[in-house]
Chain A
């Protein structure tokens, strides 16, 4: 079977499927250059670069972008700590409730975002915590943990358990073992997990609508534009930039884990 060729029908179906996945995104790239500014007219009546300049001078876009980047950075940092701790505990010891821990980590992403969002919102209300930068971070960190956790657990499993024993046998205490043996061996997996967590947070909209107050992350800004379009060409440009920006951490994560673990895309 492996030696023979794929049938024509299979080839067509596979290529058509891939085109279906990619053409809509490429379409956005074309719209970013259109001269038409009130409708979604196709084909574009003309092409221009002027909207890039207009977008560049929009303070609301910059504010949203900066907020999104800050939220993603802090959430990723929290997720890295929590996810690594959890993975270390689950990978290194057999204890009662291991399965429960894995389930608990996956739950925030397995349940529909709307449920996670409302839960957190009503909890913040009950606790009389005002909505702020930190409430957004709290929501994001919660569902980012799983991505780091998945990557770290996979790497821990592949790393020989006797490495830690060897390190302690040679005289390194727990802290030296962590710094000199564990960290260097899981670093790329953590970096990959961190990249994916960053991309996930940068893109998140559903939970964010519930945990943000007046502040707009970039996805919230886009959602506003989708529901109540104000200046369509600016939205087109922002959409294109978002695609390009999110592709970077994904590609980095892919090259970091290539040939080792599969990138834990199912974590999303």
Chain B
């Protein structure tokens, strides 16, 4: 009997060892390297920074968390939450018709085309997508040109004069950031909704029609409730991704910061790792709550 066969026999006699050997490499990597780093970072949120020396004071304190509630920092958190919420709602509205059409009406070649039409933007370069919007929103770019050509520049100017939403130009406005977020995360909303809609048996819709519901009523009372887990699943992505992103608001938008930027700056230029860590806890906690609610609504079955 060769040595390989002997090892195989030994593994069969001890199935737990086989399981352990399978799990050991991924557990070492993810459990120790990744989780270890994550906890090391989070532990630092319980330290504080000495304001004079700029060195980390390794003593347990909740002071750093207290700093999160300073007006400027609270602003960052609320602003990010507002952005994540609006992006999520808008994404659900834009995604639904696409997902609905793809799930219910697209057949054969069209189905494949729709599928790729959603997959390709999903997987194409994030930075390139952001860059595309820099081109679109630029003062000399296509959007302004379009408004001018249609003689609608007064409309754009009026919109930009709205206090919070507008700004000097679209590329440095809240609306600009919103549009880019909507664009980059939209596919993440379409796919789960489509998956949820595809699970609705057509006979259910026929039954609704048979019972006298018109299109609108069928949509409201049958399709939407059944698609809800998909919408919630999609919202997990759009919400979480917006919460943590720091590149989009850095390239397109106002100077007001979001959580991701705050984390980035506190650990980088400011060198305040404890505060950066405390800021990092915010999206984790928010997503924890969000996921708990989503699980209750059965969203994980639609993932």
Contacts and interface: CB of A to CB of B under 8 A. Distances in A.
Question: Is there a direct interface between A and B, measured as CB atoms under 8 Å apart in the complex?
Answer: yes
Nearest to B252: A226
Nearest to B1: A173
B116 interface: yes
A2 B107 CA distance: 10
Interface stretch (B61-69, B71-79, B156-164, B276-284): B276-284
Nearest to A124: B37
B65 to A, nearest CB: 16
Main SS of chain B's interface residues?
Answer: helix
B224 interface: no
Main SS of chain A's interface residues?
Answer: helix
Contact of A17 (B94, B105, B303): B94
B22 A239 contact: no
A170 interface: no
A73 B293 CA distance: 38
B40 A40 contact: no
Interface centre among B44, B112, B128, B215 (most CB of A within 10 A): B128
B34 A222 contact: no
Interface string B270-303: 0001001100100110010000000000000001
Contacts of A25: 121, 124, 128-129, 132
Interface residues of A, number: 86
B131 A239 contact: yes
Interface in A1-39: 1-2, 5-7, 10-11, 13-14, 17-18, 20-22, 24-25, 27-28, 31, 39
B85 interface: no
A138 interface: yes
A122 B303 CA distance: 32
Contact of B123 (A18, A39, A223, A265): A265
Given A1-B205, A174-B12, A206-B247, A219 B125 contact: yes
Interface of A: 1-2, 5-7, 10-11, 13-14, 17-18, 20-22, 24-25, 27-28, 31, 39-43, 78, 81-83, 85-86, 88-89, 93, 95, 101, 104-105, 107-108, 110-116, 118-123, 126, 138, 141-142, 145, 173-175, 196, 199-200, 203, 205-206, 219, 222-223, 226-227, 235, 239, 242-243, 246-247, 250-251, 254, 258, 262-263, 265-266, 268
Interface of B: 4-5, 7-9, 11-12, 15, 18-19, 22-23, 25-27, 29-31, 33-38, 40-41, 44, 94-95, 97-98, 100-102, 104-105, 112, 114-136, 138, 140-142, 145, 183, 186-188, 190-192, 195, 202, 205-206, 209, 215, 218, 237, 240-241, 243-247, 250-251, 260, 263-264, 267, 273, 276-277, 280, 283-284, 287, 303
